Structure 1
Amino acid sequence: MSRSAWDDHIDEAWLAQVQEPALDPELPIVDPHHHVWAKPFPYETPELLADLTSGHRVVGTVYTEAHRGYRTNGPEHLRPVGETEFIAALGEASDRAGNAPRICAGITGAGDLTMGAAKVDELLDAHIAAGKGRFSGLRANIFVTFDPATLAMKPLPGSNSAVDDADFVAGVARLARRGLALDLVSAHAHLEHVARLAGRIPEAVIVLDHLAPIADFGERPTPQSELLAAWRRGLAAIAPHDNVHMKLGGLANPFMSGALPAFRSLREQATPPTSEQLAELYRPMVSQAIETLGAARCMFESNFPVDKRSTSYRVLWNAFKRLARAYSEEERRALLMGTAARVYRLRDLPL
């Protein structure tokens, strides 16, 4: 992705036009998906903490890989461990400073799961050691990539057979053996493939990012009603597999909303969406996901700072809390905190 794609990604003045008090501010939240980076624009600890402490009671977060701090020497297959080292140190420093949200309490790292047993074992053991109790899993990008010119999601070559690769399956099994989660960015068209993987390795904890978003990969535009129907069929395919979980969020950015014009156009409006408006946009997919999979397999996520293009942190979680009000107290707790804390094995949260 070119630097120009990020030039005006966040407009603080535009976001400031919508101010809301935090709803149900006493409810604990675990944010299971955010990044910390210096480029393409600064979103380091101060910016992250400013969002986390903007009104909601965030007790912990999970960092998701963003190619940050890789080692620049040593074995190639171990270079992604540098990201875990960097983020673990950042989290420890924040803890020492006495910050209330335990940032980066979990870390989802990166690495190649197809490189054979010996190297995969070495990679995962190095991640675990570097994480000092924070390493929670690995994200494998096997299905999609993004066109840097149009920001459109497009399938990676071989994505339809990626879960059938024997080396990949073996790598996922080694990840599962350590109790670590596997994050996947998949379009709705890949949900049946995810179901196949989940059936092969029922002990694997699989997490689908960003509602497994709808993406139109056809040569001609496909009606949105047909895309949504295909997404629902994909949900039905993963439903029998209790080891598959889903993050509810991530659509308020241009990379995941290509086939969802209502989300894609948010930044084009004079003012940002209110939490009521954002909740209504999310409601059809979020409600369907929870109805199909159950709250114990779903978790709300911020995907910040990427989704900060279209909404502030406070408004986003207000929208999620509005959606969560349709469920029981136990289910709300799972959606806002419990599922994420369990899946990513978070400890010592300041509850």
Structure 2
Amino acid sequence: MTDADADLPIIDAHHHFWDLGHGRYPWLEDHVIPFRYGDYSALRQRSYLIDDFLGDHGRHRVVKSVHMEAEWDPRDPVGETRWLHALHDRTGWPHAMVGQAWFAREDIAEVLAGHAAFPLVRSVRQKPAAAPSPDAFVAGAPGSMADPAFRAGYRLLSRHGLHYDLQTPWWHLGEAADLARDFPDTLIVLNHTGLPSDRSPAGLDGWRNAMAALADRPNTMVKISGIGVPGQRWTPDLQRAIVLDTIRLFGADRCMVASNFPVDSLCATYDEIFAGLKEITADLAAADRRALFHDTASRTYRPA
């Protein structure tokens, strides 16, 4: 890594904290869920807090961060937001956050108002119902982005000026593009690059076409994060095409990089991810690299 790379400021646009025993994280404390990286028992064994996060940064200059909701007990989605603000008041981290919301719930208006009352909240996330594979996709399935109940809650985001952080497999991005078209005042930030885990030629073709359709909507952005492949170590060679194709489709000013830590510690160290991203983007213009690692996230999440 060059001196210039070491000095490149980073806003980590997607990471998690959790304190096991404080609040409740059903997927970490109560029961094991199907997980895209397979065995995640290592995540269930310890809390992940400020000192862990700062220690993982190593030689990379992480100046600010955006906390992504960590699937806190959905019976109290604003509880996590309250806890994180207390954490910020004590430590200065995180600098912005994405809250949990369930658009079809009867209390969605109250939940969104609750999140919006906190100064660090910029967005909310709900993972819509998703088919396990492209051939199992059913348009308009209950809980999907085309479900009228989902959309009824989603339309309330603009009332509070909140973004939508979307995590879904790429074969649902057509519905995401429709959502962006129908609600042009709400920004959609696609998480984890559309989850391109199938690296076969057919899988990559499907992913690129879906990403291109979403990129055509001007009120969409993407996080280059969470692109691990089950059973394989994160390497620049494995990820190069995904990263560069995403930048080509969306442009650097609509892309931001993120660690997805500690989840992606299952497939790489923090250093492996950020050193790899710096290597992959080494030939880009300096302004584009600055956008990817810092400026896009700064503009989108306005970290305190």
| 2:167 is equivalent to residue 185 of structure 1 | yes
In structure 2, what is the equivalent of residue 232 of structure 1? 208
Q: Could you tell me which of 221, 224, 227 is aligned with 1:245?
A: 221
TM-score by length of 1: 0.73
Deviating more after overlay: 179-188 vs 161-170? 161-170
Shift of 1:153: 11
> What residue ranges of structure 1 are gaps of 5+ in the alignment?
1-19, 96-102, 147-151, 217-222, 259-263, 267-272
CA contact (8 A) 2:232 2:267 kept: no
| 2:103 is equivalent to residue 125 of structure 1 | no
CA spacing shift, 1:326–1:159, aligned 2, 3 Å: farther
Write the distance in 2 (CA, Å) between the matches of 1:104 and 1:315: 22
Write the distance in 2 (CA, Å) between the matches of 1:104 and 1:154: 39
In structure 2, what is the equivalent of residue 134 of structure 1? 120
Letter in 2 for 1:114: A
Write the distance in 1 (CA, Å) between the matches of 2:252 and 2:152: 29
CA contact (8 A) 1:144 1:185 kept: no
> What residue ranges of structure 2 are gaps of 5+ in the alignment?
21-27, 29-43
Letter in 2 for 1:24: D
Deviating more after overlay: 39-48 vs 186-195? 39-48
1:188-199 maps to which residues of 2 (within 5 A)?
188-199=170-181
TM-score by length of 2: 0.83
Q: Secondary structure at the match of 1:164?
A: coil
CA spacing shift, 1:59–1:145, aligned 2, 3 Å: farther
Q: Could you tell me which of 64, 69, 73 is aligned with 1:60?
A: 64
Write the distance in 1 (CA, Å) between the matches of 2:135 and 2:111: 28
Letter in 2 for 1:239: A
Q: Secondary structure at the match of 2:155?
A: helix
Q: Could you tell me which of 258, 265, 276 is aligned with 2:232?
A: 265
| 2:152 is equivalent to residue 170 of structure 1 | yes
CA contact (8 A) 1:144 1:153 kept: no
CA spacing shift, 1:87–1:305, aligned 2, 3 Å: same
CA contact (8 A) 1:23 1:321 kept: no
Write the distance in 2 (CA, Å) between the matches of 1:215 and 1:48: 26
In structure 1, what is the equivalent of residue 246 of structure 2? 289
Shift of 1:193: 1.1
RMSD in angstroms over aligned alpha carbons? 2.6
Write the distance in 2 (CA, Å) between the matches of 1:31 and 1:159: 33
Shift of 1:332: 0.9
Write the distance in 2 (CA, Å) between the matches of 1:140 and 1:157: 19
In structure 1, what is the equivalent of residue 277 of structure 2? 320
In structure 1, what is the equivalent of residue 79 of structure 2? 82
Q: Secondary structure at the match of 2:184?
A: coil
Write the distance in 2 (CA, Å) between the matches of 1:92 and 1:236: 40
Q: Deviations over 1:289-324 (max 9, x none)?
A: 110111111111101111112222122111111222
Q: Could you tell me which of 45, 51, 58 is aligned with 1:46?
A: 51
| Pair member with larger Rg | 1
Identity across the alignment (%): 32
CA spacing shift, 1:45–1:336, aligned 2, 3 Å: same
Deviating more after overlay: 290-299 vs 159-168? 159-168
In structure 2, what is the equivalent of residue 100 of structure 1? none
Q: Matched residue pairs, number?
A: 279
Shift of 1:159: 6.6
Shift of 1:167: 3.0
In structure 1, what is the equivalent of residue 24 of structure 2? none
Q: Secondary structure at the match of 2:156?
A: helix
In structure 2, what is the equivalent of residue 332 of structure 1? 289
Write the distance in 2 (CA, Å) between the matches of 1:85 and 1:323: 38
CA spacing shift, 1:155–1:303, aligned 2, 3 Å: farther
Moved over 3 A (4+): 20-23, 143-146, 152-161
